[in-house]
């Protein structure tokens, strides 16, 4: 008697995982609505809201004027009066236009009203380079927002997390910045059809290993996993951690890994100087200094604007080869 094979897990692209999270959240809660530039008729500049206007209508899928400040201000007012807005800031670079609304209003209002105000705002935005969109459309600015009390910051690296973290953000009663990756939109992975949450503040061990830890932020997870395969040929058994949430940060999972492997490297696409990798490295050295056999390494972009030229941009953005090279450098510094 043969045992029937289990049905194959459903595969879904990152972009459709986002769309499904939006649609299911809007179906389950009439207070949820979506607003942003080109999110309705056009379906989003990256296609993440296609079909939502037809299902939910213009009262809940709202094309706004080209005014990020106005979009963010709309979200603050709507959330304060009981709605659950999802706003799309088309490119992460454009959050510079609405910093007051996000940093001084959304992040502070609950505190300044003694906990009586609830600000369930989800701010979706696309970060990162790789599409030759140049210096004003390719930045990774997550470290700015991790520094602001009152904001939560998540960076889904997989289609599974793109759906689960977005649903968790929409259900959260605090403002959450969901930073998605342009280059991940076509990435396909397992995504359950039902609604589910990926808990904000909980990291994931993406690959288990014994003698080296790589903490990979956002899209760099894929590059870190490639580097781990390359380093395996050197006899290095690499553990790869996907933080998923940067604020709050699951320091415990990262530190537990480093205490096991004794060496660590943090990788992000953002500029290396002042990036979230510096904070993670500092926390590792505070919590696990006696376990370290070498200083914590960091890989990030150079301190320069993102180039438009495809050749220069490819050199600018960290990749598996650079991650593997830095891991070897860290090993060479072992005490």
pLDDT value, residue 8: 73
Q: Which of the four CATH numbers 3.40.50.920, 3.90.550.10, 3.40.50.720, 3.30.360.10 does domain 204-332 have?
A: 3.40.50.920
C-alpha to C-alpha distance for 268 and 132, rounded to whole angstroms: 19
As beta bridge partners, residue 123 has 87, 177
The single residue of 37, 68, 142, 313 carrying the catalytic annotation is 68
CATH 3.40.50.920 in the chain is located at 204-332
C-alpha to C-alpha distance for 266 and 278, rounded to whole angstroms: 8
C-alpha to C-alpha distance for 48 and 87, rounded to whole angstroms: 12
The single residue of 37, 137, 269, 313 carrying the catalytic annotation is 137
Burial (CB < 10 A; 0-12, 13-18, 19+), residue 202, is: middle
Please provide the distance, in angstroms rounded to a whole number, between the alpha carbons at the two ends of the chain: 58
Q: What number of other Cβ atoms are within 10 A of residue 64's Cβ?
A: 17
CA–CA–CA angle 268, 94, 28 (5° rounding): 85
As a dihedral over the C-alpha atoms of residue 241, residue 247, residue 253, residue 255, rounded to 10 degrees, the angle is 100
pLDDT tens for 162-181 read: 999 999 999 999 999 999 99
Q: Are 124 and 88 in contact (CB under 8 A)?
A: yes
- What is the three-class DSSP state of 162? helix
Q: What number of other Cβ atoms are within 10 A of residue 115's Cβ?
A: 8
Residue spans of the chain under pLDDT 70: 1-7, 333-335
CATH 3.40.50.970 in the chain is located at 11-190
C-alpha to C-alpha distance for 54 and 329, rounded to whole angstroms: 54
CATH 3.40.605.10 fits 11-190, yes or no: no
Q: Are 273 and 304 in contact (CB under 8 A)?
A: no
Q: Are 198 and 164 in contact (CB under 8 A)?
A: yes
Catalytic residue check, 262? no
Catalytic residue check, 137? yes
């Amino acid at each position: 008697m043969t045992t029937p094979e289990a049905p194959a897990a459903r595969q879904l692209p990152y972009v459709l995982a986002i769309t499904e999270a939006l649609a299911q959240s809007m179906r389950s809660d009439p207070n949820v609505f979506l607003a942003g530039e080109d999110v309705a008729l056009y379906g989003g500049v990256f296609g993440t809201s296609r079909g939502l206007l037809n299902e939910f209508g213009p009262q809940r899928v709202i094309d706004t004027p080209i005014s990020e400040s106005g979009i963010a201000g709309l979200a603050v007012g709507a959330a304060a009066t009981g709605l659950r807005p999802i706003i799309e800031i088309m490119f992460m670079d454009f959050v510079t236009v609405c910093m007051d609304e996000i940093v001084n209003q959304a992040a502070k209002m609950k505190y300044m009203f003694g906990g009586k105000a609830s600000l369930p705002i989800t701010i979706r935005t696309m970060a990162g380079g790789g599409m030759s969109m140049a210096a004003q459309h390719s930045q990774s600015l997550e470290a700015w927002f991790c520094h602001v009390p009152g904001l939560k910051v998540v960076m889904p690296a997989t289609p599974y997390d793109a759906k689960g973290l977005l649903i968790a953000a929409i259900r959260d009663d605090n403002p959450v910045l969901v930073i998605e990756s342009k280059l991940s939109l076509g990435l396909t992975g397992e995504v359950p059809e039902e609604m589910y949450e990926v808990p904000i503040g909980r990291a994931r061990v993406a690959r288990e290993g014994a003698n080296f830890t790589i903490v990979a932020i956002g899209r760099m997870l894929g590059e870190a996993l490639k580097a781990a395969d390359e380093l395996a040929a050197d006899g290095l058994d690499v553990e790869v951690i996907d933080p998923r949430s940067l604020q709050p940060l699951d320091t415990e999972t990262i530190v537990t890994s480093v205490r096991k492997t004794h060496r660590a490297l943090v990788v992000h696409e953002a500029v290396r100087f002042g990036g979230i990798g510096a904070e993670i490295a500092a926390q590792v050295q505070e919590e696990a200094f006696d376990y370290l056999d070498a200083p914590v390494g960091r890989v990030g972009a150079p301190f320069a604007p993102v180039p438009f030229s495809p050749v220069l941009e490819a050199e600018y953005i960290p990749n598996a080869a650079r991650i593997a090279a830095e891991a070897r450098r860290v090993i060479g510094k072992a005490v």
